[in-house]
Structure 1
Amino acid sequence: MRLTCPICGARDRREFYYQGDAVALYRPAPDAGVDAWDDYVHLRDNPAGVRRELWQHEAGCGAWLVAERNTTTHDVLSVSLVTDGTERGA
């Protein structure tokens, strides 16, 4: 799989670090119970189809990216820079 970094161009997936779903991921409050933190750390949905994902170009420019990708076919539909701070890791 290849991702096209808006800064560096097309690169192999191994240059990037997958950070998870780009939307609807929240961090529990520091005083949340053990169950809330266990869910946050260990449980993720694994839906098939088109998803918005957060990636970091770790072995390149270091930019945070949102990739829209089909998790069934691995087709990358779009890649954009995280600019507005709404995605985790921005």
Structure 2
Amino acid sequence: MLLVYCPYCGVERPETEFSCGGQAHIARPVDPSAATEEDWVNFLYMRSNTKGVYVERWRHTHGCGRFFNAVRNTVTDDFLSFYKAGEPMPDLEELAKEAGK
């Protein structure tokens, strides 16, 4: 079982308290009314599905209910970092180097 840290509550709990919302930092089309069908398909369905370090949105569903972001290595299933929604994404290469030690 994975242990997930909520940066809002400041607690680490089993993954069953949380919901994963998929890839984080997906930008909506700037002008939705001018967006093409391809723009919407890319926004709604296309994800990078990276093997290795990946940034995901999580929600503490059985806790505070807030969304936050987590950096996870999809190969080892280890979490490398957690941060609040709206905060900038950390340097993924640096986190991967630190985790490799």
| TM-score, normalised relative to structure 1 | 0.75
Equivalent residue number for residue 27 of structure 1? 28
- Rounded to whole Å, the distance in 1 between the matches of 2:16 and 2:28 is 27
CA deviation profile, 1:42-82 (whole Å, cap 9, x unmatched): 11111111122221112211122221210111101222223
Higher fraction of helix:
2
Is the partner of 1:47 in helix, strand or coil? coil
Amino acid of the structure 1 residue aligned with 2:28: R
Uncovered stretches (5+) of structure 1, i.e. residues with no partner: none
Moved over 6 A (4+): none
Mind listing any 5+ residue stretches in structure 2 that lack a counterpart? 90-101
TM score, norm. by length of structure 2: 0.69
The answer (yes or no) to whether the contact 1:8–1:60 under 8 Å persists in 2 is no
Higher RCO (CA-CA < 8 Å; seq separation 6+):
1
**Percent identity among equivalent residues?**
35
Could you tell me which residue of structure 1 aligns to residue 49 of structure 2?
46
Over aligned residues, Cα RMSD in angstroms? 2.1
